[in-house]
Amino acid sequence: MLLNKRVTAVLSASLLTLACQVSQAADSLNFVSWGGTTQDAQKAAWAEPFTKSSNIKVVQDGPTDYGKLKAMVESGNVQWDVVDVEADFALRAAAEGLLEPLDFKTIQRDRIDPRFVSDHGVGSFFFSFVLGYNEGKLGANKPVDWSALFDTKTYPGKRALYKWPSPGVLELALLADGVPADKLYPLDLDRAFKKLDTIKKDIVWWGGGAQSQQLLASGEASLGQFWNGRVYALQQDGAPVGVSWKQNLVMADFLVVPKGAKNKDAAMKFLANAASAQGQAEFANQTAYAPVNLDSVSLLKPELAPNLPTAYAQDQVTLDFAYWAKNGPAIATRWNEWLVK
């Protein structure tokens, strides 16, 4: 009897392991993004419907870490199948051979805004750096474009700018200095830093979305450069925050597949679904980030549409990801020098 019990235990244990192996063998992929509400929305808009229709399980992981991605590819043990990265990084990583080329037989390239697709990455979403301001701090004085940042007399208080040497700050300084939007590149670094010098002591730097919201909502910064989705979220919460879309600077996230990803085929199918009109519209409706698929615009919630960059196409200035992918490290050296000077 006792023996019998033991045999059953062993049997059931081995069955259990077998079952585990079977479930692992079934298709699955690891999706990596930045966490927070963005990844929640990506899960709800892309992963869950995808699993339902294709029976491929999507495991959520994160946050995105470029160093980790490089380490995985170098060691040949790639745990991530689809990764959400910034557009300039996507292009730089592709140039360094860290990414798989995408399969555009599966992914429909022709309906994606050509600004947000490359051979190794397809847009995850796009967003704008907008001029946000605290209405309580500035009163009736509503700033219009980036030149307001450099006018400390009319608009007193601290300016919140994005801290990393990445597309955005230098461009807005040049625009404020009178450089026409189509003549921004190659960036005139001397001119940009000279312009930034005039407000250097008035800048507070933010490194992440939550921090930027804290600065703007509390009035610690009177105005500044913000991600449009973050300002929108503050407005939804009833914070006295205004926004100007003039010269909004367009930036994007790309979805990429690291070189040597274990579930490449499943990853391509996932990308096709995420970049589809439906997937993009669904995600935009949940986050106030804009869809990269040209067919998504008609599927957006009517009350949300005016708060998306897609509604301000004529005011858009698209940041040049390719230029940054190539020159980013050199610009960063100059940037650091200027910062600590």
Q: Is 220 in the site for another protein (CB under 8 A)?
A: yes
Q: Is 328 in the site for another protein (CB under 8 A)?
A: yes
| Of the candidates 2, 62, 7, 74, the residue with the CA atom closest to the CA atom of residue 32 | 62
Decide whether 204 or 299 has the Cβ nearer to another protein. Answer: 204
Decide whether 94 or 274 has the Cβ nearer to another protein. Answer: 94
Q: Is 219 in the site for another protein (CB under 8 A)?
A: yes
Decide whether 123 or 165 has the Cβ nearer to another protein. Answer: 165
What does DSSP assign to residue 105? T
Q: Is 150 in the site for another protein (CB under 8 A)?
A: no
Separation of first and last alpha carbons in the chain: 82
> What's the CA gap between 261 and 253, in Å, rounded?
20
| Among positions 61, 65, 135, 188, the unique one binding another protein when judged by CB under 8 A | 65
Q: Is 211 in the site for another protein (CB under 8 A)?
A: yes
Question: How many CB atoms sit inside 10 A of residue 185's CB?
Answer: 15
Give the contact letters, 90-109, x = binds to another protein (CB under 8 A), - = no.
Answer: --xx--x-------------
| Of the candidates 245, 172, 160, the residue with the CA atom closest to the CA atom of residue 207 | 160
Choices 123-131, 211-219, 286-294, 301-309; region in contact with another protein by CB under 8 A: 211-219
Choices 9-17, 65-73, 122-130, 265-273; region in contact with another protein by CB under 8 A: 65-73
Choices 5-13, 203-211, 234-242, 291-299; region in contact with another protein by CB under 8 A: 203-211
Where in 72-91 is the site for another protein (CB under 8 A)?
89
Q: Is 341 in the site for another protein (CB under 8 A)?
A: yes
> What's the CA gap between 115 and 295, in Å, rounded?
15
Q: Is 337 in the site for another protein (CB under 8 A)?
A: yes
Q: Is 333 in the site for another protein (CB under 8 A)?
A: yes
Tell me if 124 sits within 8 A of 292, measured CB to CB.
yes
> What's the CA gap between 143 and 161, in Å, rounded?
16
Query: Residue by residue, what is the 3-state secondary structure of 45-62?
Result: HHHHHHHHHHCCEEEEEC
* β-strand pairing of 203-206 with 317-318: unpaired
Q: Enumerate the β-bridge partners of residue 31.
A: 60, 82
182 Cβ neighbours under 8 A, 6+ residues apart: none
Choices 14-22, 47-55, 124-132, 205-213; region in contact with another protein by CB under 8 A: 205-213
Angle at 295 between CA 291 and CA 300, to 5 degrees: 55
| Among positions 13, 218, 301, 306, the unique one binding another protein when judged by CB under 8 A | 218
> What's the CA gap between 111 and 107, in Å, rounded?
10
Decide whether 7 or 210 has the Cβ nearer to another protein. Answer: 210
Q: Is 264 in the site for another protein (CB under 8 A)?
A: no
Q: Is 162 in the site for another protein (CB under 8 A)?
A: no
Tell me if 82 sits within 8 A of 56, measured CB to CB.
no
Binding site for another protein (CB under 8 A): 65-67, 70, 89, 92-93, 96, 158, 163-166, 203-205, 207, 211, 214, 218-220, 328-329, 332-333, 336-337, 339-341
